[in-house]
Amino acid sequence: MKRLVLFALSFPLLSASPCLAADLALTPPMGWNSWNKFADKIDDKTVREIADAMVSSGMKDAGYVYINIDDSWEGGRDAQGNIQTNSKFPDMKALADYVHGKGLKLGIYSSPGPKTCADYEGSYQHEEQDAKTWAAWGIDYLKYDWCSASKVYPASEMKAVYKKMGDALKATGRPIVFSLCQYGQQNVWEWGASVGGNLWRTTGDIEDNWKSMSTIGFDKQTANGKYAGPGHWNDPDMLEIGNGGMSTVEYRTHMSLWAMLAAPLLAGNDLRNMDDATRQILMNKEVIAINQDKLGRQGYKISKEAGAEMWIKPLENGDLALALFNRSESMVSVRAVWELLGLQGKQKVRDLWARAGLGSFRDSYSRDVAAHSVVLLRVAR
Ligand code: GLA
């Protein structure tokens, strides 16, 4: 049954976050990460094939650049304490050269604890040494995952522990994106940028299902919005698009929500085997443009009623991204009233998934939105 949803909430303008002098990640990082699809079944050959597919599929042209190896590449240490790769990754420098040769960048993973979450070697007491090793290999991105650090540090030292690696990365002189992963503990959004973080996970791990994705995306990103901006982003975790646990409609909602959140766009699927629906979702340039907008504002919810949520994201050129989401199990009719969005007079409306202009509308715009679906619009003044 259809329900008419009238929105009449206030317009909470978040204060713009201070723009730090970071020249890395000035827009949310875009790339791929091995964990969601491959977990510990990732190796040199697969990473090379993924890099090839990043280029041949058009993902690179769409803006995806980082190829990030997650947990399970680590070997032990040599007599001098230098971190080694395990047999799945015979030569990390050669792999970095290969990835760089494609015009892409290579990311890696570690933990401030003695062991990573999957029980491989961590960077505990080898922080500067590991940062130097990664820089020498040609690494461009580090995901630094708390894991067993909880066994050797009290939570109160978390900030200092992350700063230690942030400083070590800076000291290498190589630009390395620093991704904090400690699941949102200690309100990381309040201090992540100050320890050199370019992004920080805000929650526990995403799973490839509607409940997990929608809870993280819709409900858990409200307190942190004002801390996002060029160089430093909230990270609601990697994308599950194309992994099979959600419908095409739900994956489109996933992409739209991450675009509105100015979230890092790290594809988590097998880029070598993408169906058309997955390609169209991951490579919709107009949706990516919302995510990558240079103003760097994190979008936010302005109303919620009967499972329908309306979100906005102000854009650099004065346009407004407007998302009409339906979290419920049945169709809803949503009406966006210009006055309540701070807009006046006729507005030009473009549908970013239909990739079509819808015309100009005075006062408001109404649209039916199917269950778990989204209508993502760009409204031009
Ligand atoms: C944690 C992280 C995941 C992934 C795994 C690897 O669970 O949150 O994103 O990196 O560790 O072990």
| Domain CATH number, residue 110 | 3.20.20.70
Is there a contact between 54 and 106 (Cβ–Cβ < 8 Å)?
A: no
Residue at which a domain ends, from 291, 310, 333: 291
Q: Does the CB atom of residue 305 touch ligand 1 within 6 A?
A: no
From the CA of 181, give the closest atom in ligand 1.
8
CATH of the domain at 369: 2.60.40.1180
Q: Does the CB atom of residue 71 touch ligand 1 within 6 A?
A: yes
Residue 19 lies in a domain: no
Q: What residue numbers bound the domain in which 83 lies? A: 30-291
Residue 25 lies in a domain: no
Report the pLDDT value the prediction gives residue 14, as an integer from 0 to 100: 39
Q: Does the CB atom of residue 30 touch ligand 1 within 6 A?
A: no
Q: Which protein residue's CA is at the shortest distance from atom 4 of ligand 1?
A: 35
How close are the terminal C-alpha atoms of the chain, in Å?
A: 34
Report the pLDDT value the prediction gives residue 204, as an integer from 0 to 100: 98
Q: Which protein residue's CA is at the shortest distance from atom 1 of ligand 1?
A: 117
| Statement to judge: residues 309 and 278 lie in one domain | no
- Helix 158-171 to helix 127-137 angle, to the nearest 10 degrees? 40
- Domain count for the chain: 2
Report the pLDDT value the prediction gives residue 306, as an integer from 0 to 100: 87
| Substitution candidate for ligand 1 out of 32, 33, 36, 70 with most atoms within 8 A of CB | 70
Report the pLDDT value the prediction gives residue 4, as an integer from 0 to 100: 40
Residue 36 lies in a domain: yes
| Statement to judge: residues 198 and 72 lie in one domain | yes
Secondary structure letter of residue 371 according to DSSP: T
Q: What is the pLDDT of residues 133-192, one digit of tens each?
A: 999 999 999 999 999 999 999 999 999 999 999 999 999 999 999 999 999 999 999 999
Residue burial 271-293, b: 16+ Cβ < 10 Å; e: rest? beebeeebbbbbbbeebbbbbbb
Q: What percent of the chain has pLDDT over 70?
A: 94
Residue 16 lies in a domain: no
Question: Residue 11's pLDDT band (boundaries 50, 70, 90)?
Answer: very low
Residue 147 lies in a domain: yes
Residue 108 lies in a domain: yes
- Per-residue pLDDT for 280 more than 60? yes
Length of the chain: 381
Q: Does the CB atom of residue 35 touch ligand 1 within 6 A?
A: yes
Mean per-residue pLDDT for 90-100? 99
- Per-residue pLDDT for 3 more than 90? no
From the CA of 205, give the closest atom in ligand 1.
8
| Statement to judge: residues 165 and 53 lie in one domain | yes
Q: Does the CB atom of residue 40 touch ligand 1 within 6 A?
A: no
Q: What is the pLDDT of residues 247-265, one digit of tens each?
A: 999 999 999 999 999 999 9
| Statement to judge: residues 264 and 369 lie in one domain | no
What pTM was estimated for this model as a whole?
A: 0.94
- Per-residue pLDDT for 19 more than 60? no
Residue at which a domain ends, from 291, 317, 348: 291
CA angle 94-39-211, nearest 5°?
A: 140
Give residue 145 CA to ligand 1 midpoint distance, Å: 7
| Statement to judge: residues 180 and 42 lie in one domain | yes
| Statement to judge: residues 216 and 330 lie in one domain | no
Residue 22 lies in a domain: no
| Statement to judge: residues 211 and 350 lie in one domain | no
From the CA of 238, give the closest atom in ligand 1.
9
Residue at which a domain ends, from 270, 291, 312: 291
Catalytic, 145? Answer: yes
Residue 322 lies in a domain: yes
Mean per-residue pLDDT for 50-66? 98
| Statement to judge: residues 168 and 258 lie in one domain | yes
| Statement to judge: residues 238 and 305 lie in one domain | no
Q: Which protein residue's CA is at the shortest distance from atom 6 of ligand 1?
A: 71
Give residue 117 CA to ligand 1 midpoint distance, Å: 6
Would you state the torsion angle of the CA atoms of residues 279, 380, 26, 274, taken in this order, to the nearest 10 degrees? 0
Q: Chain-wide mean pLDDT for the chain?
A: 94
Residue 225 in tokens: 């919005």
Instruction: Report how far residue 244's alpha carbon sits from residue 251's, in angstroms, rounded to the nearest whole number.
Output: 9
| Statement to judge: residues 131 and 269 lie in one domain | yes
| Statement to judge: residues 164 and 311 lie in one domain | no
Catalytic, 208? Answer: no
Instruction: Report how far residue 141's alpha carbon sits from residue 180's, in angstroms, rounded to the nearest whole number.
Output: 11
| Statement to judge: residues 316 and 212 lie in one domain | no
Q: Does the CB atom of residue 207 touch ligand 1 within 6 A?
A: no
Of 52, 205, 351, 363, which one is the catalytic site residue? 205
Give residue 249 CA to ligand 1 midpoint distance, Å: 27
Give residue 132 CA to ligand 1 midpoint distance, Å: 23
- Per-residue pLDDT for 18 more than 70? no
Mean per-residue pLDDT for 107-115? 98
Of 43, 130, 145, 235, which one is the catalytic site residue? 145
